[in-house]
Structure 1
Amino acid sequence: MSTLHWAGLLLLAVIAGAVVPFQSAINANLTRGLGHPLWATLASLVVSVLVLLPIILALRLPLPSLAFIAKAPLWMWAGGAFGVCFISLALMLLPKLGASGFIALALAGQVVASLLLDHFGWFGLVERHMTLPRVMGAVLLIAGVVVIQFSSTPAKALVTAS
């Protein structure tokens, strides 16, 4: 792959990560309006379907294979459950931890889980063994999470302290 292609992929990955705190913050406000995180989770997923369907139709994507759907192992359908878990937990925790605290902690969990997924090649991923530099990178990232989470003071506390 060319350097330009890699740069494009890296930029898209950064964008994918950047939208998460926006989604979480917006959905946290939706939670307040709807009265419960699960209602906001459902609303978020319904909007996702409403946005995705016209794109699928515009691209004229063929229907998925019914044979695959019938024989696919159950774990292949767990992505939706993980999405519900992430969105719901984000809605409950983001207001308490702040956007940076929640996202930093979520990122730490993602890095640890990703190292395990790569190391064992679970779910059809290419094995990428857990090396000392990779583990050290995760440790440094988690150290950054600790600094982000425990060095912040809510703005209201700053106002009342002065």
Structure 2
Amino acid sequence: MPFLPLVIIAALTGAAVPFQGGANAALGRALGHPLWATLASLVVSALCILPVLMILRVPLPTVAGLAGQPKWIWIGGIAGVIYVTAAILLMPKLGAASFMIAVIAGQMVGALLIDWTGGVGLAARPVDATRLAGTAMVLLGAIVVQWPAVSR
């Protein structure tokens, strides 16, 4: 698939994220604690993917497939819990835009580090002046979005 449609799909996927955070924050209030909302969100995710796995007849994974794999492959689940819980706790306090721009700024810094080092099993990619400038603009955008609240 060409590059541009992939970027558009990624952007549309990203547009769903603030809705997830807001809905999970409301769920946390309804359930009486943010961690219950984190668990409920992850259970709903599992319930949504299970029918897809069955419809596509995806074979069950094997323990042998995990043998010899690096321990860091489990970090995705940990990162998911951290993100979902942070969204539940922080989005109501910061607002959707302020929370999301801070998350995006952090993602850009982390992504550049992964590209630079070839971390988490991805191929290393050069971090040149253009990519650094783009990331600096995202960080500046995060400051601009946050400025009204910070300057009070």
Q: Give the TM-score range, shorter chain.
A: over 0.9
1:7-156 equivalences in 2 (<5 Å): 7-151=4-148
Q: TM-score, normalised by structure 2?
A: 0.93
Whole-angstrom distance in 1 between the partners of 2:114 and 2:29: 35
Q: Post-superposition shift, 1:147?
A: 0.9
Q: Post-superposition shift, 1:66?
A: 2.3
> How large is the Cα RMSD of the aligned pairs?
1.5
**Residue in structure 2 matched with residue 160 of structure 1 by the alignment:** none
- Which deviates further from its counterpart, 7-16 or 47-56? 7-16
Paired positions, count: 150
Matched to 1:55, the amino acid is: V
Matched to 1:123, the amino acid is: V
Q: Post-superposition shift, 1:97?
A: 0.5
Query: Cα deviation per residue 1:99-154 (whole Å; 9 max; x = unaligned)?
Result: 000000000000000000001111221111221111111111111111112236xx
Whole-angstrom distance in 1 between the partners of 2:127 and 2:148: 30
Whole-angstrom distance in 1 between the partners of 2:95 and 2:146: 9
Query: Cα deviation per residue 1:62-96 (whole Å; 9 max; x = unaligned)?
Result: 12232122332211111101100000011110001
Contiguous gaps of at least 5 residues in structure 2: none
The share of aligned pairs that are identical, in percent, is 46
Q: TM-score, normalised by structure 1?
A: 0.88
Please tell me whether Structure 1 or Structure 2 has the larger radius of gyration of its CA atoms: 1
